[in-house]
Structure 1
Amino acid sequence: MSILTQHSVFTATLQNGPFAVLDDPPLPHPFSREAKAWVATIRHNQLLKTKYRAVRNQIFDLLGVNTFDEILALIHDKRLRANAAERAYLLLGNMFGLAGSTREVTRHLHEYARTADNVIRLLQSKVLAPYSAHIETTNEVVTAWDPVELLLMLFDERYHKKARFEAKRKLTLMALAGSIDQRERETDIAAKFLEFLEFLNAYVWSPDYKIGDLDIRYLHSVHDPRDFSCTAVQVLSEDEAGSVVLKPGEKLTLVKRRRFNDHGVDVPIYVTIRKKEPAAKVLKLLRKNEKNPASAVDDELGLMAVLNSVNDVKRFVRHLTRSAARAESFMTLEDISDTLTGGEYAGTATGSSGKTSMLKFFARTGGMRIEFILHTNRSYLNYIYQRDVAHDEYEVKRIFDTGVVEFLFPPDIYRLDLGKIRNHQLAWFRRCIEEG
């Protein structure tokens, strides 16, 4: 389900529906012409009426008021506002399972606000980098962390429409950050991440080398001018790579490789550990149109590895299951997808390409469920460089095609032609990939 439809779980934040932020705050008299016109837009939609009541009640409960008129008093009376904030901290702390004093709860709220801001900064830093100034958040909203302060901005006529939308957006992102934090505390993901690293160092990587001892190697590759897929690849040492003069259609890619020992043979492997940061998890919830991290974020722990050949990939999978047994834990492989030797990748994510080659599975072991993505040198280079497959292009497609960009930066507020920007960014990343 699209995040932009009226059936979205984020209906209250949409700018293309009855909960849109308008030029004036939503505080007209209940029998005014504006209020009657607004009621007419949802009169025949039971779902929207139910959602409206739920949103209204949440606002009243958080602020401790019974009518919209009482909100004006909170805006202009610091003492009333401070009392409402103290009450809100207690309610939110209990909702997110935050034990401790008010100071502890506010520390978490600061963290949620920081994550909300980081969601926007993450997009500004890469996918929408050329448009960073266009989508910059209003200073007063960036510095705000108190949910009551942000909520009151929505009803304060001193704030421009853009600032009021950004306050509502920040509240939405903070709520998702809170859900993610609660999930991480419940699953103890930080401790499991350390256990995962300890398992790799103790049982998977070769004991003949020190932790962090990496071989510097370069993949010298030749690419097809039609789709920039890899047609040939050679592994070079640092010295060999230093003497290479690249021709058009060639790439030199650094890989820092570890080793694992399979029956007395050291097999080189480039590994990058994948642990999603909170801002990336928030974006994934938005892309999935979900508010529940338990059902939408299933790849909190992960590892991507690159080996020389398909045979080495198979050796690593077998070595992995044997290593788990030596660690006194059975390992099962779940949701296996293998397109390394042919076939089309059946990815369900918006923007993913059927041309993607990899072995992907989840390994359940030691009380953890870890996502593994395994590549050969050639499939890894295609993952970086091939047209319609490259991860940089995929990032642009999925953030635009799922509606997340329009959700976070609605055109009526930011005055951006998002279709044109999508095509521009795809062309820009493609140019960087092939010519950079």
Structure 2
Amino acid sequence: MSILTKQSVFATTLQDGPFAVLDDPPLAHPFSREVKGWVAAIRHDQLLKTKYRSVRNQVFDLLGVNAFDEILVLIHDPRLRARAAARAHLLLGNMFGIGGSTTLEVIRHLREYARTADDVIRSLQGKVLAPYSAHIETTNEIVTAWDPVDLLLMLFDERFHKKARFEAKRKLTLMGLAGSIDQRERETDIAAKFLEFLGFLNAYVWSPDYKIGDLDIRYLHSVHSPVDFSCDAVKVLAEEEAQSLALGSGEKLTLVKRRRFRDNGVDIPIYVTIRKKEPAAKVLKLLRKNEKNPASAVDDELGLMAVLNSVNDVKRFVRHLTRSAARAESFMTLEDISDTLTGGEYAGTATGSSGKTSMLKFFARTGGMRIEFILHTNRSYLNYIYQRDVAHDEYEVKRIFDTGVVEFLFPPAIYHLDLGKIRDHQLAWFRRCIEEG
């Protein structure tokens, strides 16, 4: 289901609908023309009426009021506002499972949720929407705000512009997702499992002859097709060879820092990058999947991407993994296996993914953890970086636009951007960077 439909779990944040932030705060008289028109628009939609009652009750419960008129009092009375904030902190602390902690501990978590919400926007400003960073910059007063009560009251404060009030509402939504993610991480103890995973790799998977962090510097010298910029040929070069190389048209030089694993007495090189999603990335994934529950939407919290010389080396590494788990006194099962390294079309369900993607992907369940593994050969890895319609940078643009997340976070009615043109421009820009950079 799209995040932009009225059935979306984020429907109350949509700017295109009955819960949109308007030029004036939603504090009109109950019998005013504006309110009568709004009621007429939703009177025949039971879902919207139910969502409205739910949102209204949440606002009243968090602020400790019984009517919209009482909100104006909180806006202008610092003493009552501070009392409402203290009460809200207690309620939110208990909701996110940090109840029983000190007030300072709850406030620390709320500040962290606010930082994550800001990081979501900054991450898009830094890459996918970098040329438009100034257009989508968040209002200063919203960036510095962290208290949910302050943000909520901004929605009803006529001193704040429409854009600022929308950003306050958006930040509250993102903070709520950040809180759910933090609660899930504490329940699953993901930080400890991540350290345990690294310990397993160092103790049982990598070659014992190498110190932790001792990596071999190698370069992949590749020649790419002029048709789709896929890898036609690849050769592994030592650092000295790469430095003396002059690249021609359609050629790339890609750094890989390789570890080694030992299989039947033979050390096999492998480039490895560990993947642990940051909270902002998890928030974006929840938005893309139109989900508020991290347990059902974020299944790749722990992951590893590895690059090996050949398909045979990939097979040897998978076997080495299961044997290593057994030596660590844990059985390992492989789940949700997808293998397109030797042909076939990748059946990815994610919006924006390409059927031409080649890789071996699976989840390994071992030691109380479920870890996502993505394995590449040198050739498939280079296609993952450079090939047209496959490259990960292009995929990032497609999935953030085509899932509706960009429009959800930066609605054209507020930011006055032509998102269709921006999508096409960014795809072309990333393609130029890939091929000419």
With the shorter chain as reference, the TM-score category is over 0.9
Task: Give the alignment of 1:36-435 within 5 angstroms.
Answer: 36-98=36-98, 99-435=100-436
Give a deviation string over 1:284-341, Cα, whole Å, max 9, x none.
0000000000000000000000000000000000000000000000000000000000
Provide the rounded CA distance (Å) in 2 between the counterparts of 1:406 and 1:72: 31
Provide the rounded CA distance (Å) in 2 between the counterparts of 1:195 and 1:62: 39
Instruction: Name the Cα RMSD after superposition.
Output: 0.3
Q: Supply the AA of the counterpart residue of 1:113.
A: A
Secondary structure in 2 aligned to 1:271? Answer: strand
Provide the rounded CA distance (Å) in 2 between the counterparts of 1:228 and 1:44: 54
Provide the rounded CA distance (Å) in 1 between the counterparts of 2:29 and 2:61: 20
Provide the rounded CA distance (Å) in 2 between the counterparts of 1:400 and 1:350: 9
Q: Supply the AA of the counterpart residue of 1:76.
A: H
Provide the rounded CA distance (Å) in 2 between the counterparts of 1:301 and 1:418: 33
Provide the rounded CA distance (Å) in 1 between the counterparts of 2:300 and 2:213: 24
Give a deviation string over 1:138-187, Cα, whole Å, max 9, x none.
00000000000000000000000000000000000000000000000000
Provide the rounded CA distance (Å) in 2 between the counterparts of 1:74 and 1:37: 27
Secondary structure in 1 aligned to 2:9? Answer: coil
Secondary structure in 1 aligned to 2:30? Answer: coil
Task: Compute the TM-score of the two structures, normalised by the length of structure 1.
Answer: 1.00
Q: Supply the AA of the counterpart residue of 2:318.
A: V
Q: CA deviation at 1:243?
A: 1.1
Q: Supply the AA of the counterpart residue of 1:370.
A: I
Q: Supply the AA of the counterpart residue of 1:421.
A: I
Provide the rounded CA distance (Å) in 2 between the counterparts of 1:101 and 1:386: 52
Q: Supply the AA of the counterpart residue of 1:230.
A: C
Q: What's the % identity of the aligned pairs?
A: 89
Provide the rounded CA distance (Å) in 1 between the counterparts of 2:118 and 2:380: 35
Secondary structure in 1 aligned to 2:275? Answer: strand
Provide the rounded CA distance (Å) in 1 between the counterparts of 2:221 and 2:338: 28
Provide the rounded CA distance (Å) in 2 between the counterparts of 1:138 and 1:75: 19
Provide the rounded CA distance (Å) in 1 between the counterparts of 2:270 and 2:41: 59
Residue in structure 2 matched with residue 11 of structure 1 by the alignment = 11
Q: CA deviation at 1:51?
A: 0.2
Q: CA deviation at 1:22?
A: 0.3
Q: CA deviation at 1:36?
A: 0.5
Residue in structure 1 matched with residue 21 of structure 2 by the alignment = 21
Provide the rounded CA distance (Å) in 1 between the counterparts of 2:170 and 2:339: 39
Provide the rounded CA distance (Å) in 2 between the counterparts of 1:104 and 1:209: 42
Q: Supply the AA of the counterpart residue of 1:97.
A: G
Q: CA deviation at 1:132?
A: 0.2
Aligned residues: 436
Secondary structure in 2 aligned to 1:302? Answer: strand
Give a deviation string over 1:3-42, Cα, whole Å, max 9, x none.
0000000011000110000000000011111100000110
Give a deviation string over 1:357-382, Cα, whole Å, max 9, x none.
00000000000000000000000000
Instruction: Provide runs of 4+ in structure 1 moved above 6 Å.
Output: none
Provide the rounded CA distance (Å) in 2 between the counterparts of 1:422 and 1:211: 42
Residue in structure 2 matched with residue 2 of structure 1 by the alignment = 2
Provide the rounded CA distance (Å) in 1 between the counterparts of 2:175 and 2:358: 36
Give a deviation string over 1:200-222, Cα, whole Å, max 9, x none.
00000000110000000000000
Provide the rounded CA distance (Å) in 1 between the counterparts of 2:368 and 2:166: 42
Q: Supply the AA of the counterpart residue of 1:422.
A: R
Provide the rounded CA distance (Å) in 2 between the counterparts of 1:40 and 1:25: 19
Secondary structure in 1 aligned to 2:26? Answer: coil
Gapped runs of 5+ residues in structure 1?
A: none
Provide the rounded CA distance (Å) in 2 between the counterparts of 1:23 and 1:379: 51
Q: Supply the AA of the counterpart residue of 2:7.
A: H
Provide the rounded CA distance (Å) in 2 between the counterparts of 1:413 and 1:365: 48
Secondary structure in 2 aligned to 1:44? Answer: coil
Q: Supply the AA of the counterpart residue of 1:192.
A: K
Q: Supply the AA of the counterpart residue of 2:51.
A: K
Provide the rounded CA distance (Å) in 2 between the counterparts of 1:328 and 1:300: 23
Provide the rounded CA distance (Å) in 2 between the counterparts of 1:5 and 1:341: 39
Q: Supply the AA of the counterpart residue of 1:229.
A: S
Q: CA deviation at 1:65?
A: 0.3
Provide the rounded CA distance (Å) in 2 between the counterparts of 1:225 and 1:39: 59
Q: Supply the AA of the counterpart residue of 1:50.
A: T
Gapped runs of 5+ residues in structure 2?
A: none
Residue in structure 2 matched with residue 33 of structure 1 by the alignment = 33
Q: Supply the AA of the counterpart residue of 1:57.
A: N
Q: CA deviation at 1:84?
A: 0.3
